[in-house]
Chains A and B, each alone.
Chain A
Amino acid sequence: MRTVFKTSYDADINLFRHPQQMGWYLALIMLALALPFLLSVFALGEATNVLIWAIACMGLMILVGQTGQASLGHAAFLAIGCYANVLLQQRLGLPFLLSFPLAGLIAGVAGALIAMPMTKLHGIYLAIGTIAITILTEDFIVIATPLTNGVIGLMAPPIDIFGFEIDRYRTPWLLYYLILAVTLLVVLAYRNLQRSPLGRSFAAIRDSEISAQAMGVNVARTKAVAFGISTGITGLAGALMGHYAGIFNNETFNLIISIQLLLAIVIGGLGSIHGAFFGAAVVAMLPQAIAIGRDVLGRFIGGGSIAIPGMETAIFGLLLILFILFEPMGIYGRWVKIRTYFELFPFYRKDMFRRQKAYLKTERMR
Chain B
Amino acid sequence: MSLLEIDNVTLRFGGVTAVSQVSFNVEEGEVFALVGPNGAGKSTLFNLISRIYDPAEGDIRFDGRTILDRKPHEMARLGIARTFQNIELFDHATVAQNLLVGRHRHRKSRMWTELLFTPFVRAQERHHREAIEKVIDFLDLQAYRDKYIAGLPYGVRKVVEMGRALAIEPRLLLLDEPASGLSVEETQDVAFWVEDIKKQMGITVLMVEHDMHLVASVSDRVLALADGKMLAMGTPHEVQNHPKVIEAYIGVADEHEKVLA
Contact = CB atoms under 8 A, between A and B. Distances in A.
B171 to A, nearest CB: 14
A214 B88 CA distance: 10
Interface stretch (A9-17, A33-41, A240-248, A280-288): A9-17
A197 B73 contact: no
Contacts of B105: 215-216
A313 interface: no
B103 A197 contact: yes
Contacts of B71: 218
Contacts of A218: 71, 73
A212 B50 CA distance: 12
B161 to A, nearest CB: 8
Interface string B58-89: 00000000000001111111000110100011
B259 interface: no
A196 B121 contact: yes
Interface string A201-225: 1011011101111111111000001
A200 interface: yes
B101 interface: yes
Contacts of A356: 150
B125 A204 contact: no
A195 B122 CA distance: 9
Given A214-B50, A216-B75, A216-B104, A203 B114 contact: no
Interface of A: 9-10, 12-13, 189, 192-193, 195-201, 203-204, 206-208, 210-219, 225, 229, 271, 356
11 contacts: A9-B126, A12-B129, A192-B116, A195-B117, A198-B114, A201-B101, A203-B90, A206-B90, A208-B89, A211-B164, A214-B75
B40 to A, nearest CB: 20
Nearest to A355: B150
B73 A208 contact: no
Count chain B CB atoms within 10 A of each CB in A208, A216, A225, A356 and give the residue with the most: A216
Main secondary structure of the interface of A (DSSP, over half): helix
A199 to B, nearest CB: 8
Given A9-B125, A216-B75, 20 more contacts: A10-B122, A13-B125, A192-B116, A193-B114, A197-B124, A198-B111, A200-B100, A206-B90, A208-B91, A210-B88, A213-B73, A214-B76, A214-B82, A214-B84, A215-B76, A215-B101, A218-B71, A218-B73, A229-B115, A356-B150
* Residue of A195, A210, A215, A217 contacting most chain B CB atoms (<10 Å): A215
B130 interface: yes
Interface string B90-101: 111100110011
B110 to A, nearest CB: 9
Which residue, of A10, A196, A199, has the highest number of chain B Cβ atoms within 10 A? Answer: A196
Contact of B81 (A199, A212, A214): A214
A200 B101 contact: yes
Category for how many chain B residues contact A = 35 or more
B90 A211 contact: yes
Given A196-B114, A198-B114, A214 B72 contact: yes
B113 to A, nearest CB: 9
B36 interface: no
A211 to B, nearest CB: 4
B85 to A, nearest CB: 12
Contact of B90 (A10, A193, A197, A204): A204
B134 interface: no
A128 B76 CA distance: 33
B101 to A, nearest CB: 5
Contacts of A199: 114
B72 A196 contact: no
Nearest to A225: B111
A9 B131 CA distance: 11
Given A207-B93, A210-B84, A196 B76 contact: no
Contacts of B128: 197
Contact of A211 (B88, B92, B96, B150): B88
B41 interface: no
A211 B89 contact: yes
**A-B CB proximity, top 8 nearest:** A216-B76, A207-B90, A196-B114, A216-B105, A211-B88, A192-B117, A9-B129, A197-B107
B76 A271 contact: no
Contacts of A271: 92
Contact of A215 (B104, B109, B116, B129): B104
Contacts of B111: 198, 225, 229
